[in-house]
Structure 1
């Protein structure tokens, strides 16, 4: 029998998807609205603080009052670190083995990479390596995945969230496939560690390594 309540939830979810994506990644828009260094610092810190507060509230709302969050253990910190390093290495190896899976529109030509050589270098680095991983994990593996899980269950929600995350970060074929694998892995780690902190750590490490690799090639 058709579930009207579930249909209504899907409609609400679709309507809120775009604002949620903007909350997740808006702090990566360093240099998009302002040219001054101080203005961009204010934008980055202010936006991140507001976005994190809203996303934490929404996560708690979706999880419910009985939800428990486990402390992040050294074991899962190690697993998250190894997973991030493994995916970076896998991406580098595969893009060298299958160069046809890449294009000229790569990380070195991205707007973020260009900012790493200018006066907005440090706000951009802090955005890429700290604030954006936090807000994206709270939004994607937190709010969005929890919402979809309530409709279709954990595994379909994990796949759909990973696909959405990959499409929104799409640049090159091979790195995008690796990114999908990364997203699936950190969702599973969150599931077994019972905390979003696991994927946040993995995402921070992944972005930091990629940023360093891009930076040294500029």
Structure 2
């Protein structure tokens, strides 16, 4: 059985999971205990990697990516996320209507691989707002996780993916000061090499990971887009 494969006796299946760095630092690492509690012990190697990843050299079993990067391996689109302006409750009172230009903004520098991620400039253009110099000022971080931490510290408004900010919105650490969101241009994708696809532990982790991603992105705290 799958349960016996994952938890049976002295045999502990090994699983190498690769995800974007921000997902490894917090989002997925906080949830791994839930997988083990539900499915039994496994030797899981959790890697935070930028694309492209060396599947065969590192024997990676599962890779979650933003966008379809791996045509040479079976790849499945999971869901398309959006970014949401989020901030700590303490600074939300200064917001008038949909205009965030008067508040400190937290920027995420996605790097060369993240050129398709939306910026604050994109958000203001979509909202039909002229932000002036606001889009050039404020704190900047080179990871989604770090930008979210800065927002939770009350230092400004960040544009955060729903998958990362849903839990903090649910527990009140963050709030959405305005309703407008901006859909990401590419979906999250799951890639599993054929050498790994037939392993029971891979199949179980795949289903669990998809469920966790969908639960976050479909959180009622994010509302309808």
> What range describes the TM-score normalised by the shorter chain of this pair?
under 0.3
TM normalised by structure 2 equals: 0.26
- Indicate the structure with greater strand content: 2
TM-score (norm 1): 0.27
